[in-house]
Amino acid sequence: MLVFTRYPDQDFTWFTLKGAINTDEWISTIEEYAAQGLTKYELFDLLKVEMDMELPTSDDIRRIFDSARSGAHLRPPGGKTAMLANEEVIFGLSRMYDILATTEESITWETGVFHSLSEAVEWLGDDIKKIVLGKKAS
């Protein structure tokens, strides 16, 4: 299941994958998030992926990307999406998404894929770093 928490004051949404998920569930969650308004900054925490779940294919990654791209015009320009993955296969799949995003002209935000939370939040900026590292410490 993919869950998200919004931090409106920082224009930030933190997504956390808990357990297994399929592509349709992922897209449904993104559509639910988009219906509430897109934020400038996003963090996808994929550290708790169940490696025994059916992993997405390259076609699935394309579907997820196309879903995000369909709402690109609604997202504030200059945003950032960080994907956090510690399993190499998840990191690689996240890089596929990253490559699609960097080659698409309609995408107005940066994407980055990281192995560590500290790297991801450093890249997202000080306001996000305070939220994420403050939550992890408590």
Q: What is the CATH number of the domain that holds 120?
A: 3.30.750.24
Q: What average pLDDT does this structure show over 110-124?
A: 94
Backbone angles phi, psi at 113, to 5 degrees: -120, 130
Closest CA to 97 of 83, 117, 76: 83
- Amino acid identity, position 75: R
Q: What mean pLDDT is reported for the chain?
A: 87
Residue-level pLDDT at 4: 96
Residue-level pLDDT at 11: 95
Range of the domain at 47: 2-137
CA angle 59, 15, 106 (to 5 degrees): 55
Confidence check: pLDDT of 49 > 70: yes
Residue-level pLDDT at 137: 44
- Amino acid identity, position 5: T
Q: What average pLDDT does this structure show over 42-49?
A: 90
Backbone angles phi, psi at 41, to 5 degrees: -120, 140
Q: How confident is the model at residue 58 (pLDDT cuts 50, 70, 90)?
A: confident
103: left (phi over 0), alpha (psi -120 to 50) or beta: alpha
Instruction: Write the DSSP symbol of residue 83.
Output: E
Q: How confident is the model at residue 136 (pLDDT cuts 50, 70, 90)?
A: low
Q: How confident is the model at residue 135 (pLDDT cuts 50, 70, 90)?
A: low
Confidence check: pLDDT of 68 > 70: yes
pTM of the entire structure? 0.87
Size (the chain), residues: 138
Domain total of the chain: 1
Confidence check: pLDDT of 138 > 80: no
